[in-house]
Amino acid sequence: MQIQTAHYDLVTSWQGGMASRTLCQSFSADNAPPALQSHVIDSDEPVSLGGEGLAPDPQELMLAAFNACMMAAFILEARAEGLALTHLEIHTDGHLPKGIPASGDRPAEDASGRLVYVIHVSGSGTVYQFEGVHQRVIDSSLNRWLLAQNMLIEGDLILS
């Protein structure tokens, strides 16, 4: 069964300097009662941007969410195909703009950012099966789709 709507309740609090802490309080899907959570996510800016560099910056967190979403989709699709995984790793190299143009206009395509990821996978599948899994991940990863609305995203799969 596919979730149609999801609701997230998060609170982010300033921790001094450029640091923040987010408490993920609850998650619910399709109007079900919320499941209470107590996940904590810290964020800080690098020293070069005025922070202390004690935690990932917001863009690193966004890219971590991208990788985690792609990984979860890959695992689900591999399971649906009946494939056993022995290794799965996603390496993402992100080139992101560090600001929005003053005019608010969308930046030129070459200035809007670029993600290049490589999936390293091994398991019981063939190259053809894992390529099919990768294509279904491209079609089903919500975070990949959201990020692709504003930047070029290129992906590759390496069977090891």
Residue 108 lies in a domain: no
Q: Which two tokens stand for residue 146?
A: 């959201």
Question: Quick one: 92 and 14 in the same domain?
Answer: no
Pairing of strands 114-123, 85-95: antiparallel
Q: Is the dihedral of CA 80, 94, 147, 37 positive or negative?
A: positive
Q: 85-107 pLDDT, tens per residue?
A: 999 999 999 888 777 666 655 55
Question: Quick one: 46 and 60 in the same domain?
Answer: no
CB atoms within 10 A of CB 29: 14
Q: Give residues with Cβ within 8 angstroms of 137, minimum separation 6.
A: 70, 73, 74, 77, 144
Q: Burial code of 100-111, b = ≥16 C-beta within 10 A, e = fewer? A: eeeeeeeeeeee
Please check whether residue 97 is in contact with residue 113, taking contact to mean a CB–CB distance below 8 angstroms: yes
Question: Quick one: 27 and 69 in the same domain?
Answer: no
Q: What is the pTM of this model?
A: 0.82
Domain that holds residue 78: 56-96+113-151
Q: Burial code of 86-97, b = ≥16 C-beta within 10 A, e = fewer? A: eebebebebeee
Residues of the chain above pLDDT 70, percent? 88
CATH of the domain at 131: 3.30.300.20
Q: 8-41 pLDDT, tens per residue?
A: 899 999 999 999 999 999 988 888 888 999 999 9
Domain count, the chain: 2
Question: Quick one: 77 and 130 in the same domain?
Answer: yes
Average per-residue pLDDT for the chain? 88
